[in-house]
Chain A
């Protein structure tokens, strides 16, 4: 049940490809990045590498390959209240190909993510064109995913999700020091959209704790729309201000918005510092409740904190050091970067049922904070 017909999208992409001009844009630069990431928060530890290699093929094409791993140790609120802690590993690989012809850049990429109970396969296409004296860039993107949902300890459990993303982007240079970007993305999901391990709770006087569990039940479709506006502004003493605002709604009744501000300050001696602040807030899904009044209270039932009403704030700092170049043969440039981000989640209607001594529905609201660290090396050649 796609929102936009495949033909309309094909028409858009072909139209852009056929737009003639004899001037060209530039492909992304060749590079090699090695990242180590670490997340610690809410009882979960996730760490792993992410490697990216981008190589030009002749002068009109470029390929990229990314390898990413999440090694997960989880004793999160969801896990400790209804299961035992677990260890897991997720591997994601992504291969992309970009082609530049005249003023049009076209790209295709294939992504595969695997863990022991979830496989996701995605193919994406995008096309971008510079126009109006190269002050404007228009881009279109389409992604199609097919996920297979499995269940640990139940090898014959297999469900599917089909997802389609349609994105439209417009980038506009407004002055010598200001560039803005507007993005619109609509996503439709269809299939088995809930988590096979997760349950909701309902008031049950026959239970010693006052409530019982039943498996969550989600609709089998989800349509969402997001619009985001971004701006970068150059400050005369060589620094940059970044701002972003995104608004989101979907057919599950969730409304969210987030904004982010950032400041980049390079120094004369090869260091660059970035500071960011991000705030996110959302309202709950229609069928969400922390505690339902009875069993089978509604057609659809969810108690996933991700669908509750909550806000999160994040403050981040990044330090980058530009390595001395022209000493390592083919390497043009390199940088070492370290980033730390502190995120605080506060839930408005999801309760911490690991806390004992409370009546059902009166447990304290859940909240947690997380530390996110990244250490990476980037080389341009």
Chain B
């Protein structure tokens, strides 16, 4: 519990001040649609279903984040 508190305080103090090492104007490549985790949701949902219906494993699918970071 103490470790958690220390971590939280540390993040509080330096987390807000973390200088992004990728500047917002350097995100051109990350904003490219080919770098999206899920550019075609209808197709990927179908593909996930094909595997999930035949395999025992389920979960932890999908991904988000990256992108242009605008706004």
- By beta carbon, the residue of chain A nearest B56 is A254
Whole-angstrom CA separation of A52 from B61 in the bound complex: 19
B40 to chain A, nearest CB (A): 7
Whole-angstrom CA separation of A37 from B19 in the bound complex: 46
> Is the Cβ of B57 less than 8 Å from the Cβ of A256?
yes
Whole-angstrom CA separation of A315 from B30 in the bound complex: 26
- By beta carbon, the residue of chain A nearest B38 is A28
Contact residues in A for B20 (Cβ distance below 8 Å):
132-135
Q: Is A149 positioned at the interface, with any CB of B under 8 Å from its CB? A: no
> Is the Cβ of A186 less than 8 Å from the Cβ of B46?
no
Complex partner residue of B60 from A136, A232, A246, A266, CB under 8 angstroms = A246
Q: A128-B64, A130-B69, A372-B50 are in contact. Are A312 and B55 (CB under 8 A)?
A: yes
B46 to chain A, nearest CB (A): 5
> Is the Cβ of B60 less than 8 Å from the Cβ of A183?
yes
Q: Is A108 positioned at the interface, with any CB of B under 8 Å from its CB? A: no
List residues 19-35 of chain B with CB under 8 A from any CB of chain A.
19-22, 24, 26-27, 29-30, 32, 34-35
* Chain B at the A interface: SS class: loop
Whole-angstrom CA separation of A345 from B56 in the bound complex: 13
> Is the Cβ of A173 less than 8 Å from the Cβ of B65?
yes
Whole-angstrom CA separation of A167 from B32 in the bound complex: 27
Q: Is A119 positioned at the interface, with any CB of B under 8 Å from its CB? A: no
Using a Cβ–Cβ cut-off of 8 Å, how many residues does chain A contribute to the interface with B? 76
> Is the Cβ of B66 less than 8 Å from the Cβ of A179?
yes
List residues 168-198 of chain A with CB under 8 A from any CB of chain B.
169, 171-173, 175-177, 179, 181, 183-187
> Is the Cβ of B55 less than 8 Å from the Cβ of A23?
no
> Is the Cβ of A132 less than 8 Å from the Cβ of B40?
no
> Is the Cβ of B18 less than 8 Å from the Cβ of A374?
no
Q: Is A71 positioned at the interface, with any CB of B under 8 Å from its CB? A: no
> Is the Cβ of B47 less than 8 Å from the Cβ of A341?
yes
Whole-angstrom CA separation of A185 from B27 in the bound complex: 29
Whole-angstrom CA separation of A376 from B59 in the bound complex: 25
Contact residues in B for A51 (Cβ distance below 8 Å):
42
Q: A52-B42, A132-B20 are in contact. Are A39 and B50 (CB under 8 A)?
A: yes
21 of the cross-chain contacts (CB-CB < 8 Å) are: A23-B71, A35-B46, A66-B42, A132-B20, A134-B24, A135-B20, A169-B62, A181-B66, A183-B62, A185-B58, A185-B60, A226-B58, A226-B59, A232-B35, A232-B66, A234-B35, A240-B35, A248-B57, A282-B57, A312-B55, A345-B54
Partner-B contacts on A (CB < 8 A): 23-26, 33, 35, 37, 39, 50-52, 66, 68, 128, 130-137, 139, 165, 167, 169, 171-173, 175-177, 179, 181, 183-187, 224-228, 230, 232, 234, 238-240, 246, 248, 250, 252, 254, 256, 258, 264, 266, 272, 280, 282, 285, 306-307, 312, 314, 337, 339, 341, 343, 345, 372, 374, 376, 378
